[in-house]
Structure 1
Amino acid sequence: MESLDKQGALEQLMQEDAIDLRLYWTTVMRHKWGILGFSIVLTVLSVLIVMSMTPVYRATATLLIEAKEANIVSIEEVYGIESGKSEYFETQFAILKSRKLAERVVDKLDLVNNADFNAPKEPLIDFDINQYLPESMQPEVKERTSDDIRRSAVDTLLAHLSIDPVVKTQLVKISYESENPSLAMLIANEFGESYIESNLEAKLDLSLKATSWLSTRLDTLRADLTAAEKVLQEYRETEQIIGDNGGINIVSQEMELVANKLVEARRDRLELESLYRQVQSIGKGNPERLELVPTVLQHSLVQRMKGELARVELKRSELAKRYGPKHPNMQSVNSEIANARDALNRQILSVVNGIETNYRVAQANERSLQQTLDGTKGNMQELNRKEYRLNELQQNVQAKQVLFETFLNRFNETSATGDLNTANARISDPAIMPRTPIKPKKKLIIVAVFIGCILFGVLFSLVLEALNNTVQTARDVENHLHETMLGLLPLLQKKRKEPYKSYRQFVEDPSSTYSESLRTIRTGVVLSALDNPHKTISVTSTIPGEGKTTLSTGLALAVGQMEKVLLLEADMRRPSIGRALGLNREAAGLSDVVAGSAKLEDAIQRFEAGNIDVLIAGKIPPNPSELLSSKRFGKLLEVLETKYDRIIIDTAPSQAVSDAMVLAQHVGAMIYVVKADSTTYQNARNGLKRLHEVKAPILGVVLNQVDVKRGAKYHSEEYGGYYDVYGYSSAKS
């Protein structure tokens, strides 16, 4: 069940949206001739203007820009920064659009004196307001200087120039628009040529400046290098430095040699010291034990003497076998043995003394070498300090030498190639003379103006419709007035000879649409209260001129065909029923009967053509509201209700006077008349509000003076029955 409700709500919403779209369409169609006429007029004016416009031609030259690095020491090279290609090309595009380049083209082509370039623009309207002003109010006219003219020419040139880079390429489109095609071609090509020349001149100027700067810098670097070399040489001479590294290699070799000698001397001293200690432990008084020392034993003289001693002892041994101890030979041999032993002992002591001497010499040699090594080490430290300072000075000289050579090489390259700079751009496709203008695009402008006017007209019509706050349709009655729609009356064509035609339309043409509309309203009134019919019905409106009297008369005539009806004219300020129906306007009326100056029977007039009785207003009283609110008037209505089946009262407008509010207390129903497409719903709402405040029995609203033809055309779906669009009425209607 809930889903069905949601579906119904959705269908209703879609239906309302569709109706809204149709309303927009009907609004546009209602104003279509005005929109079309407005569009045609403006389109014709645009055709005249476009045809009088001077055609403009565009010439385009294609420029190829190539990136090239500068051949000088740049800040990017020093710090290792590389500019991106995109930034480079963006810079070149900005140069192409620069004012300086435009000034160059103006001067080169002498555009200041070019008649085609500086042709004066004729105004569309030749009107000078200054000629009508007094001399004191006329603006001061300043003479234009040559700079002003040149500045104006440059502004004009830049205003008609366009620089368009081709995406993802190094190509640039240089376009210029002019009324002279040959001038457009000339300027487009000249812009490319001037850009190339300007770039070459800038490079040449940059090379000259770079050469000058490098030359100045070289002088400074040469002086710095000479000063550094002089300081280095003075330091060498002062410190008496020989060799590349301050003589430290010589000292190193010397120290290495002394160290080696010291090692050998220490080794010899240790060997001799061991032997010396051994000899000292034995003592010089014991030659026999000293003889056992390996060094002594291995001495050549000692070995020879020991051999001699052994030979003599062998000889004594042989003689002892033959002779006795006291034999002279034995004594001689013993004497030889004693001599040989003494000689051997003396030689052993000599060898031992030699060992001691060698030990002392080894000690002295070791001490001497150690002293020499210590002195060499001190020299080595001093030389290291000199070497550090020397290296510092040499590095300074080398750095200045490298920098000087770098600048010298770059200076030579810049000087040699400074006049051989190549252009970074070339014209890949020169501009040609255009044959067809690019603007004005006459057909496009005319079509655009026509479509724009149509759209503007549609928008304007919708705005007018949105701003239209008048009551036009039954939808407006229901949405804005919140009242029941009883019916509507079509608009009748007014004629000067028949000013009250609508009053008698029902009688004179009963089969017309107007008459049928009255019958529809009559049916609605009758059906609204079948069980308890409204005997007294009042008809009022918001303001005068909305047709309440016409509805009162027509409704009385329509009801008169079925019942006994009295038409009562209670609008005593502007009475018109008597004249419209051709009655006696001098006869007594409502005011006379209420005042008691005339009898009711004498005041009521018969309108035979419509089969109704009429009680006109009579003499206009000074205060009609008091008359209508009197008890006599109430009693009069009670009497009339007993004599008639229906009483139709024409009442004054509710917003103009308070008569309608007074009558609201005496009537059974009240019909509110609204003039279509004239009365605003704010005014109608205010009038209804006043009636509701006095609890008036409002039966519904009748929309009057509706344009039948337009309504049938634009609101046929909503009011088809009212307008008789189905051809149900007679052909005459």
Structure 2
Amino acid sequence: MRRGTMTDTPPSAARVREVSLTDFIQYARRKYVKALLAGLVVFGVCLLVLSLRPPVYSAQTTLLYRPEQADFANVNLLASGMDVSSATINNEIEIIRSTDLLSRVVERTGLNRDPEFVTPAKLVDVDVLASVAGGIFRGGAFDWAGSALGWARAPRDVMPATRRMPAIDVVRAASALRGRIEVESERFSYAFTLSVSSTVPEKAAILANTVADAYIEDQLEAKFSETKRATNWLSDRIAELEARVRESESAAAQKRAEFSEISGRDAGTISQQIAQLSTQLVTAQSALTAARSRYEITSRRREQGEVVDSDGGQNSDTINRLIELRTDLRRREAELSGRYLEKHPKLIAVREDLAQVEARLQQARNASVGDARAELRAAEITVQNLSNELRRVERQAQDFRQAEVAIRQLEREAETDRNLYETYLSRLRETTAKEDVQTADVRVLQRASVPGGPVGVPPLLLAIAGGAGGGALWLCFGFAVGLLRQGFNHREEVEEVLGETVLAVVPEVAPRHLQRGVVEYLQREPDTGFAESFRKAKSVLALRSMMTNNAVICVTSSVPGEGKTTFASGLAYEFAKSKRCLLIEGDLRRPSFASRVMNRDATYGVGDVVDGTASLEDSLVTVAESNLSVLFAKRALSNSPQLLESEGFARLIETARNTFDVIVIDAPPLLATSDALALGQVCDSFIYAVRWRTTEKGVVKAGVKSLRDSGCRIAGIVMTRFDTQKGGEVPGYYYENYNRYDKYYTK
């Protein structure tokens, strides 16, 4: 098995080719003729359509919004004044464009019966089209078709005579009229312009003036209705306020009557009385405290057996004499007890006197506690009475203050209602006085006149712009389509993505030229771009030192139909001009040499040579006047992988190496079968065919990767079936001049 080493390795990441403005300019330079033709077609269509459309005339009137009148309406609405600003002007513009106002214009002018406003917009003017056609189609079918498409000829009178105003027609006509109206405000002023367009100049002027008049009348009606509404509202409010004033005054009088006895006293007198009662209460509370203290002292001393005054003191003469007498009697009792017996008359008399003194002292103690208790009770009653009186006076003061607050509140409400009543009454008088002198906030500065000519850009300029845009759009579309194709568009892209050298680009040849085979066509037409591509591939292989003595080259592709058989036969034919070359049909499952390479019949094929039925020399078909020999497959073989990997096929290749200088094998598609990888055991290198713009990049990358993973050497890539007419649609591709190759040799 012979395998070559890989000299070219793919880059780690394929670099995406950047598209610049220069690429688009080059593409436009190559395709300027087609772009010019596309632009001329668009120009012609635009000019025809624009020429057949009826001309449009626009009449314009100028209105001025007078800000000094704006406050009048605001007074009627009882609202604060609002400055005239752009928002105010925009509101007026929206009123002009409102359906209600335009419906009145339609009813006034009868536009609901005008075909220009009740039928769909006409693409072309039937009268102009009929005049262009020379009157051939006038009447009959042409009029019927025009009516069906909404192209009926409109009468040229200024306004239709008949008037029918069903609501749906009026609304439809008002909607159409809104599309013909343009209102623009003037900068740095309160003026704005009203423009109305129509196919009839007189109609445009009448509509512009009618819309302006209807707008002014609408404003007057709106102000009158607002004044009426304000008058009614003021009348209702005045009646309500009058009732509220009466209620407030009545409530204040009733509240004042309820507190007449309090309201007759001065607030200062009540405050002075509260101060006096507060002072007396403090004094009474102090006396209460002293009485409670004396009571507690006398009670405690009575319990201890002491005799005190009612005020708690011990300085009473009577009590002092009784105490002295009690002391003297106790002393005498003691003396007598020491000298006499218990029943001695003197001792008994002394003890009786002592008992009487004790009784009188007990009476004195009880009298002192009773007096203290009576004094304490009197002090408590005094404090209670003063507290009750103070609370009563304080409640009277609070009621007085509440009454004053309530009365003042009622008086304020009555005063407020009275003032508001007087204000509304004056506003009502003012509104009633001005009701009959309403003036519009807008005045007409300049009424519309009949326009002298149509508006808009001339049809010729529009057609020129359309033609230029059409040509540019065609260029952009073609350029984008070329960029979005899935296949390879140019050789630089192939080399960037696959990391392999592109040996040649083989142009597409019409099938009728290859009916008798590629070899015969190359013999008949040697000076074509098709033949030159094979010579270039041969030269590149020689310069890259890919050609060794007795070299075996396999030509394969990713999928069928990529032109690998055509390239293999053409390359072999070029090699045969200077060397002995053998072309082997390696696609044993689908033999096609007899129809594509050369129109010859073979006696034996590859299978016969491998199994020993025939020799290699007997199986070859020789091309006349050439060193090219062809080994056909002859018949389809189902066991092609086993045959290509067999020793018999290896001996065939070794025998061919000893006889021929170059051996070219047309291998099967790489991703369709495994036969191509089986040929890797006997070939020196592979040439990979890629169809221009057709084979997807992922498929080609998968095929090349399988060859590299198998250790096969890739001699290069060949781009096949290149369309010389469309090659210039891709930026950077410069093979579109292949179709001029023949002129190089004929000059």
TM-score (norm 1): 0.64
Which residue number corresponds to residue 51 of structure 2?
A: 51
- AA of the residue aligned to 1:479: E
2:166 corresponds to 1:152: no
Which residue number corresponds to residue 647 of structure 2?
A: 631
1:19-30 correspondence runs (5 A)? 20-29=20-29
Which residue number corresponds to residue 582 of structure 2?
A: 566
Greater relative contact order (CA < 8 Å, ≥ 6 in sequence): 2
Which residue number corresponds to residue 447 of structure 1?
A: 464
Judge conservation of contact 1:488–1:703 (CA < 8 Å) in 2: yes
Judging changes above 3 Å, is the alpha-carbon distance between structure 1 residues 713 and 732 closer, same or farther for their aligned structure 2 residues? Answer: farther
Of the candidates 474, 477, 496, which is equivalent to residue 457 of structure 1?
A: 474
Task: Say how many residue pairs are matched.
Answer: 558
Of the candidates 165, 169, 174, which is equivalent to residue 185 of structure 2?
A: 165
Q: Using the aligned pairs only, state the percent identity.
A: 27
Judging changes above 3 Å, is the alpha-carbon distance between structure 1 residues 732 and 704 closer, same or farther for their aligned structure 2 residues? Answer: farther
Judge conservation of contact 2:76–2:230 (CA < 8 Å) in 1: no
- AA of the residue aligned to 1:59: A
Which residue number corresponds to residue 732 of structure 1?
A: 746
Which residue number corresponds to residue 698 of structure 2?
A: 682
- AA of the residue aligned to 2:541: V
Judging changes above 3 Å, is the alpha-carbon distance between structure 1 residues 209 and 534 closer, same or farther for their aligned structure 2 residues? Answer: same
Judge conservation of contact 1:27–1:462 (CA < 8 Å) in 2: yes
For 1:156 and 1:709, the matched residues in 2 are separated by 51
Of the candidates 186, 201, 207, which is equivalent to residue 181 of structure 1?
A: 201
Give the stretch that moved more between structures: 215-224 or 625-634: 215-224
Which residue number corresponds to residue 524 of structure 1?
A: 540
Which residue number corresponds to residue 565 of structure 2?
A: 549
Deviation of 1:164 after TM superposition, in Å, equals 1.8
Which residue number corresponds to residue 100 of structure 1?
A: 100
Judging changes above 3 Å, is the alpha-carbon distance between structure 1 residues 168 and 606 closer, same or farther for their aligned structure 2 residues? Answer: same
In the alignment, structure 1 segments of 5+ residues that lack a partner are 1-14, 130-143, 238-245, 249-386
Question: Equivalent residue of 1:555, what SS?
Answer: helix
Deviation of 1:637 after TM superposition, in Å, equals 1.3
Judging changes above 3 Å, is the alpha-carbon distance between structure 1 residues 723 and 160 closer, same or farther for their aligned structure 2 residues? Answer: closer
- AA of the residue aligned to 1:641: R
For 2:427 and 2:48, the matched residues in 1 are separated by 69
Deviation of 1:614 after TM superposition, in Å, equals 3.0
Judging changes above 3 Å, is the alpha-carbon distance between structure 1 residues 412 and 549 closer, same or farther for their aligned structure 2 residues? Answer: closer
1:570-585 correspondence runs (5 A)? 570-577=586-593, 585=601
For 2:573 and 2:64, the matched residues in 1 are separated by 94
Judge conservation of contact 2:591–2:635 (CA < 8 Å) in 1: no
Which residue number corresponds to residue 84 of structure 2?
A: 85
Deviation of 1:662 after TM superposition, in Å, equals 1.4
For 2:715 and 2:701, the matched residues in 1 are separated by 15
For 1:219 and 1:681, the matched residues in 2 are separated by 91
For 1:122 and 1:729, the matched residues in 2 are separated by 54
Judge conservation of contact 2:554–2:666 (CA < 8 Å) in 1: yes
Judging changes above 3 Å, is the alpha-carbon distance between structure 1 residues 82 and 653 closer, same or farther for their aligned structure 2 residues? Answer: same
Which residue number corresponds to residue 660 of structure 1?
A: 676
Judging changes above 3 Å, is the alpha-carbon distance between structure 1 residues 439 and 599 closer, same or farther for their aligned structure 2 residues? Answer: same
Deviation of 1:711 after TM superposition, in Å, equals 5.5
- AA of the residue aligned to 2:487: T
Deviation of 1:426 after TM superposition, in Å, equals 0.7
Of the candidates 56, 69, 72, which is equivalent to residue 70 of structure 1?
A: 72
Judging changes above 3 Å, is the alpha-carbon distance between structure 1 residues 607 and 439 closer, same or farther for their aligned structure 2 residues? Answer: same
Provide, for residues 542-565 of structure 1, a one-character-per-residue CA deviation record: whole Å limited to 9, x for no partner.
334433333323322332344333
- AA of the residue aligned to 1:192: A
Judging changes above 3 Å, is the alpha-carbon distance between structure 1 residues 182 and 717 closer, same or farther for their aligned structure 2 residues? Answer: closer
Deviation of 1:232 after TM superposition, in Å, equals 11
2:630 corresponds to 1:614: yes
For 1:625 and 1:388, the matched residues in 2 are separated by 119
Deviation of 1:724 after TM superposition, in Å, equals 11
Question: Equivalent residue of 2:665, what SS?
Answer: strand
Judging changes above 3 Å, is the alpha-carbon distance between structure 1 residues 648 and 111 closer, same or farther for their aligned structure 2 residues? Answer: closer
Larger radius of gyration: 1
For 1:730 and 1:391, the matched residues in 2 are separated by 119
For 1:200 and 1:563, the matched residues in 2 are separated by 107
Judging changes above 3 Å, is the alpha-carbon distance between structure 1 residues 558 and 154 closer, same or farther for their aligned structure 2 residues? Answer: closer
2:652 corresponds to 1:650: no
Judge conservation of contact 2:690–2:717 (CA < 8 Å) in 1: yes
For 1:717 and 1:561, the matched residues in 2 are separated by 31
Judging changes above 3 Å, is the alpha-carbon distance between structure 1 residues 569 and 405 closer, same or farther for their aligned structure 2 residues? Answer: closer
- AA of the residue aligned to 1:429: Q
Which residue number corresponds to residue 480 of structure 1?
A: 497
Deviation of 1:663 after TM superposition, in Å, equals 0.8
Deviation of 1:74 after TM superposition, in Å, equals 5.5
Deviation of 1:710 after TM superposition, in Å, equals 6.5
Question: Equivalent residue of 1:419, what SS?
Answer: coil
1:418-433 correspondence runs (5 A)? 418-433=435-450
For 1:451 and 1:203, the matched residues in 2 are separated by 54
Deviation of 1:36 after TM superposition, in Å, equals 4.0
1:241-640 correspondence runs (5 A)? 409-438=426-455, 442-492=459-509, 494-495=511-512, 499-500=515-516, 502-504=518-520, 506-508=522-524, 513-529=529-545, 533=549, 535-577=551-593, 585-640=601-656
Judging changes above 3 Å, is the alpha-carbon distance between structure 1 residues 676 and 158 closer, same or farther for their aligned structure 2 residues? Answer: closer
TM-score (norm 2): 0.63
Provide, for residues 276-298 of structure 1, a one-character-per-residue CA deviation record: whole Å limited to 9, x for no partner.
xxxxxxxxxxxxxxxxxxxxxxx
